[in-house]
Chain A
Amino acid sequence: MMYKVKLLFIFICVAGLSTLGYGQMYNEITSTVYLQNGKVITKPGAAPIRTNILIKDGMIREIGNNITIPYDAKIIAIDSHFVYAGFIDALNHTGLKRDEPTANPERGQGRAAQQGPRIVPGQATLEQSGVTPQKSVVKSYSPEENSVKDMRNQGVTVAHVVPTGLMLPGKGSIISLKKGGTTDQHILKKDMSTYARLAPTGSLSPSTIIGVMSKFRDVYKNAEILQKNSMAFDMGKEGVSRPSYSEEYNAMIPVVNKKEQVFFETSQVKDIHKAMILQKELGFPIVLSSITMADGLINEIKKLNSPLILSLKLPEPIKKDTADKKKKTEEDMLIAKRSEDAYNVLVGQAAMLEKNGVKFAISMKDVKPADIKKSIKTLVDKGLSESQALAALTTNAADLFGMSSKMGSVEVGKMANLVICDTSYFAEKSKIKFVLVEGQVYEQKPAEKPARADNKPVSAEKGVLGKFSYSVNVMDNINTGWVKIEKKADSYKIFVKSDDSNDIDEDVNKIDIKDLKVKFELNTDIGGSPIIVNFDLTFDGDNYSGTANIGGFGSFPISGKRIPE
């Protein structure tokens, strides 16, 4: 008997060890953790203090140099490492289940538009129009999704998770990025926000940004009316009829009552302005979100005095042109200089906001998890102070969600959300060693290099690389142009250019290349309306043929041949 128990114990330990890989969680043998001898940055701007931290049941219980270490504490020696409060992602889709049959509402085509009988564009239902403010993100969340792990590995411990969708995708929740358990166990604040986007549908009403704005007004005002009519009905006022219930309008009532903030995704100046027009007209509490460029509107933003979320999406650094300088005209130089200035403006947004005294949190939605640290570093290199960068990642976000008594800093009584770095997080080569989410310890070990063999290009694949003409027949109207397929460092890039347009489309996703079969999804727009075209091509020598599926309109034959370099 005793022997068997021992064996089982050893087995558990071995199993535990073997699964302890990159970003893995320690087995929860105890809920008491003692962090020994770290350099703790208690809050933004504070100097590092050499001290110890005692954590129990997910909370920071003691900080100091004279802590009696409990017998059941797991002791982690973090000698000389920097300890920060866990980062808070102010807006993201982290943890959303990938297999949800949403037919990619992000990109415009509602599922209904693609299946079943064709919908008359002007007769779309609210749902088909992208108005689903009643949708709770919680149902779509899973703590086991890779995105949760990926974000946590970057030090993100809590996220404001919002659903995907078009103009009013639904309600966001504040979720602890813990592993295991049920979603419910990780929810800190459920359905606390309304998420809004200036996102038209592909082909149904509203198909333009101005259509979205008009729809927003209608939804908002009808929510106001529903509330008033319901109140009159409840009070039994004479002559009042029973108002017909609407899930969508009902979900907007907290916003109408100014009790729930609208997180309005806006990006650049023109979008910010549009959101501000709606806010001024209707008066709802707004959080300007996902901002990438606010130059020129900063005074208006200051006047608005509402919280702000900066997007961590940054432009690609401009490649230095190595071509012979003599060939360049004065005009070329001038334009190159403008491009460089434009790049600096974009990466300098955080510094600009700080200079103007505008407090902001950060959304990591539009940046790859692996690029988060690099992007933060770029913001700091371009003038953002380290203390403001840390504030944006911690205290500002905690304030924004009304949770600063529970998170955002390293203090007794706060949730034990911590990021532990081998040196200053903002140092060039710093590495995150541990992330703690409510006391759960996730150790970061260098990732094993994945076997490369599978990813090597198969020789047949080369047959699909290069530039090809295309000709697509859409109901007897022929459109021509070219497609270019490139491969750089194991990733493909595809460019599409129509002869009818001056622009080269490069917003290509879901590239799937197997032998001589090429599939990809092109996001383009027609007069400001987004549209998705799905290509499915089969190559044969220098020729190919296949179909182009134009969102909502059907599949059309496409063919072409190689254009010699």
Chain B
Amino acid sequence: MKKILYIALTICMPYLCIAQVTMGDVLIKNGTLLTITKGILAETDILVEKGKIKRIGKNISAPSASYKVIDAKGMFVMPGIIDAHSHIGLDVVNEATSPVTSEVNVGDGIDPFDINVYQALAGGVTVSHAMHGSANAIGGQCQTIKHRYGTYNPSDFIMEGAPRTIKFALGENPIRVHGEGSGIVPRTRMGVEQIFRTAFTEASIYKQKWEDYNTGKAKDIPEYSTRMEVLRDILDGKIIIHCHSYRADEILMLMNVLKDFNIKKICFQHVNEGFKVAPELAAFGATASVFADWWAYKMEVYYSTAYNAAILTRNGVITSINSDSGELIRHLYHEAAKTQRYGNLTDEEALKLITINPAIQLGIDGRVGSLEVGKDGDIAIFDKHPLSIYAIPQFTIVDGTVKFDRKNDKIDMRIIANPDDKVTSSFIEYHSHDDRCMEGVADFLFKVHSHK
């Protein structure tokens, strides 16, 4: 019995420190509901009770005076925006010391005081995928967080029940950090492939060793390795891979590796050349999370197009648009709208890129990503249609609790201030949080500006 304790411990790890999260009650009256999955509902009310959407319909009245009531007449009500690639709300991003670092988990380093989280709320974003950086072929575990800004307890940010995810990275970053930096594999793109193959092979051996011990075949307790535990869980389909990728050839390479190891759950991140292999991605069942129009910040990312999201969508690949930035995250609705200029996506298709599609990629579409009874009360309210360049978010609600209120929020929304904080530090802070994908990498010493 005790033998499986180790396994039980690792599985339960992220959920052990869950504190009390505030679940609110709110009634939003007479808004235009962009439900995403059930069409547009004009002049409709939506009732959130104890953090969950209870009713959607006309003439709903608040069950008690304790409900917060928002008059959304003339406004647009949509599900909270979801960012499938972000690094906000984190103390650290990159454990850049080895080509494989599946043992680390950014969920251990959540920063609930990060002002970027509030700024994301001000852009209607209620959930983000806090990711490890892209320095390693197999990076650290990521954490899907709910923007429950205002808490002191880092565990409150953890979206309870969200599937586990992990960061992978192809191409220049792992080659530069480990191959050029330390003179080890991977020194080439071929080497990156070998890192995956070796890691999964080692994990299979590790798994077998523990199985032999647990079934009594072997008497010695094998060595414990968090790194191998996590890789084994990937093999067992318990973790969704989110892979930093650009080039089509490498995307195909990783899909081949995954086929060989019978791994199915993968979302390609950035995936700038995804448009070249869209049918292959669709056939594999892989999903894609892209930028609307960001590229050319390094060699492998010159061959790009703003039509990427549209082409992927039309080819049946579940696609999302992400920020990877504390700045972009504040206007993902603009980023989604760009796919209408470049690719003629419909309103619903464009909005799906920042709601239900990223939710599917994170495995949380049963909870968030659309306005449906039973789902979490994560809601963004805009004065204009969110795909309009003139739209300004008015309220952002997480679990039925108003976390952003454009008219009534304080000027200084820092949770903790330091006595020696200089004036305006909180307002310029996001600049330094930009481009965290390669944060902490030794290259940063040399101030080489390595993006994405």
Task: Verify if B1 is at the interface (C-beta below 8 Å from A).
Answer: no
Tell yes or no: B50 within 8 A of A by CB: no
CB of B260 within 8 Å of the partner chain? no
B256 within 8 A of A: no
A237 within 8 A of B: yes
What separation, in Å, do the CA atoms of A34 and B417 have in the docked complex?
52
| Contact A209/B432 with A214-B104, A296-B153 known, Cβ cut-off 8 Å | no
User: Are B19 and A300 within 8 A (Cβ)?
Assistant: yes
Tell yes or no: B9 within 8 A of A by CB.
Answer: yes
Contacting B at CB under 8 A, from A198-232, are 203-211, 213-215, 217-218, 221-222, 225, 228-229, 232
A214's closest neighbor in chain B, by CB? Answer: B103
Q: With A502-B428, A527-B94, A528-B91 in contact, is A281–B104 under 8 Å at CB?
A: no
Once A339-B421, A503-B432 are accepted as A-B contacts, the answer to whether A207 and B447 lie under 8 Å apart by CB is no
**B436: min CB distance to chain A, Å:** 7
A240, B213: Cα distance in complex, Å: 11
Quick check: is B109 within 8 A (CB to CB) of the other chain? yes
Chain A residues near B444 (CB-CB < 8 A): 526-527
Question: How many Å from the CB of A225 to the closest CB on chain B?
Answer: 5
Shortest distance in angstroms between B100's beta carbon and chain A's nearest beta carbon?
A: 8
Contact B95 A238 (CB under 8 A): no
CB-defined interface of A518-542 with B at 8 Å, one 1/0 digit per residue? 0000000011110100000000000
Cβ 8 A contact of B95, one of A124, A211, A228, A237: A211
B419 touches A315 (CB 8 A): yes
Say yes or no: is A475 at the interface (Cβ < 8 Å to chain B).
Answer: yes
| Set of chain B residues within 8 Å of A182, measured between Cβ atoms | none
Minimum CB distance partner of A121 in chain B? B97
Chain B contact residues: helix, strand, loop or mixed: loop
CB contacts (< 8 Å) of B205 on chain A: these are none
Interface residue B369 (Cβ < 8 Å from any Cβ of A): no
A334/B411 in contact, CB under 8 A: yes
Residue on B nearest A296 in the bound complex, by CB: B152
- Point out which of B93, B103, B225, B414 has the most chain A C-beta atoms below 10 A from its C-beta: B103
Q: How far is the CB of B175 from chain A (nearest CB, A)?
A: 15
B152 smallest CB distance to A (angstroms): 2
Chain B residue nearest to A240 (CB atoms) is B219
Tell me the residues in window 406-452 of chain B with beta carbons closer than 8 Å to chain A beta carbons. 411-412, 414, 416-421, 423-425, 428-429, 431-432, 436, 439-442, 444-448
Question: Quick check: is A413 within 8 A (CB to CB) of the other chain?
Answer: no
Query: Of all chain B residues, which has the CB nearest A328?
Result: B423
Q: Which residues of A contact B326 (CB under 8 A)?
A: none
Q: Is the CB of B220 within 8 A of A243?
A: yes
Is B417's CB under 8 angstroms from A338's CB?
yes
**Any chain B CB within 8 A of the CB of A454?**
no
Are A210 and B109 interface neighbours, CB within 8 A? Answer: yes
Q: Give the distance to chain B from A212, nearest Cβ to Cβ, in Å.
A: 9
Contact between B417 and A208, CB atoms less than 8 A apart: no
Asked if B245 is at the interface of the complex by the 8 Å CB criterion, the answer is no
A502 touches B431 (CB 8 A): yes
Can you pick out 5 interface pairs between chain A and chain B where the beta carbons lie within 8 Å of each other? A204-B97, A336-B423, A341-B417, A527-B444, A550-B445
Q: Which residues of B contact A (CB under 8 A)?
A: 6, 9, 13, 16-17, 19, 91-101, 103-106, 108-113, 140, 151-155, 182-184, 218-227, 411-412, 414, 416-421, 423-425, 428-429, 431-432, 436, 439-442, 444-448
A sample of 5 more A-B contacts (CB under 8 A), given A225-B221, A528-B109, is A208-B94, A210-B108, A296-B152, A335-B421, A527-B444
